[in-house]
Structure 1
């Protein structure tokens, strides 16, 4: 009976030592993993240990690293700018006739909605609001934004008339976005935000060139 007891005690002691060692290694691994994370000192995980929640329907993470007011302004202004481009693209359903216009509409929808989600996540991670309200008479003006009348005029036409109107308005809209992105490249600090600005300049400049070709043949 004594032999069985001693053997059982030794097994329990060994199991306890293995468990303790495993817990210690896991704790060290967690500490090392956290020490390698860079949240720029602004995300919820950096201060509370809980990850910042992405915007509804989004999976993007906050942009890591330092940021400045130009980065914040870029995101705050580009979100509604992109949203209006999506509204314009939505009007093409049942109205657009030209196959190239339809192809560009699909490209705009494919690119700009994910970019909106990214920028919303950045602002959340930076602790900044989605809309810019800086006391300048209802916010900063954004280059290339359509008026309410522009949107009504676009919605009122179909076929070739829509294709032409859409191309004209989207050229102006894209040029405004390119100007905003160039300002971010010049004045921004956050590497992730500046990389998106590079993408906006490249892709929307290419789309402007394609829209101009469409206008030339319509």
Structure 2
């Protein structure tokens, strides 16, 4: 009888041991799955980091775009500022106000890009903007020379309106050309996106200004 009880106890111990082994094996398998999961997580993180690096990459065209568009925008702001007390048309004043609201933030954004890239940032102070019409921008599409800016500054009323619209159309066309080049050749996502916005917005404003001038 004692032997039977002993055998029963041994059988119970063996069964418990087998059960424990199975549980541990299951846990081990779970650990492997978890490890695989973690490995997958690391792979995903690596892919994300790679994507971020690609999105942050820039090339010489991106630098050229920002360094050229900043002074281009600055001159547009200078022209727009003149409209406040010289324009006679409410439509011209409204357009000038919209130019200021759109382009001033873009100057700040592009300046930030250049700073982060370790590149030179064109002067953007008020004094620099006020003196821009005396600078040589002959190689930049749509930029006015000092004689043009002097004429605009001295004009008023309907003469100013006509001169402003005519000059701003040319100025916008230059910006669209520059932005189109950036869209085609740039690498930095935010820059090519801004270029697309510039093309869309300024093309619409060109049509608006032509209409104000009585052109189709």
Q: Which of 165, 168, 171 in structure 1 is aligned with 2:166?
A: 168
Which of the numbers 176, 179, 183 marks the counterpart of 2:177?
179
User: Which has the larger helix fraction?
Assistant: 2
> Matches of 1:140 and 1:212 in 2, distance apart?
24
**Corresponding residue for residue 87 of structure 2:** 96
What is the match of residue 11 of structure 1? none
What's the counterpart of residue 70 of structure 1? 61
Determine which of 72, 84, 92 is the counterpart of 1:81. 72
- Whole-angstrom CA distance in 2 between matches of 1:150 and 1:140: 12
Equivalence map 1:71-150=2 (5 Å): 71-131=62-122, 141-150=139-148
Shift of residue 131, structure 1, vs aligned partner = 3.9
Q: Which runs of 5+ in 1 are unaligned?
A: 1-31, 42-63, 133-137
Contact residue 62 and residue 182 of structure 2 kept, 8 A? yes
Task: Tell me how many residue pairs correspond in the alignment.
Answer: 157
1:53-64 map, 5 Å: none
TM-score by length of 1: 0.67
For the structure 1 residues 184 and 198, does the alpha-carbon distance in structure 2 shift closer, same or farther, using more than 3 Å as the test?
same
Structure-2 separation of matches of 1:140 and 1:37: 41
Decide which of 194, 204, 208 is 2:206's aligned counterpart: 208
The Cα RMSD (Å) is 2.4
Instruction: Classify the secondary structure of the residue corresponding to 1:94.
Output: helix
The change in CA–CA distance for 1:124 and 1:38 in structure 2 (over 3 A counts) is: farther
Shift of 1:37: 10
Secondary structure, aligned partner of 1:155: helix
Alpha-carbon offset, residue 40 of structure 1: 4.3
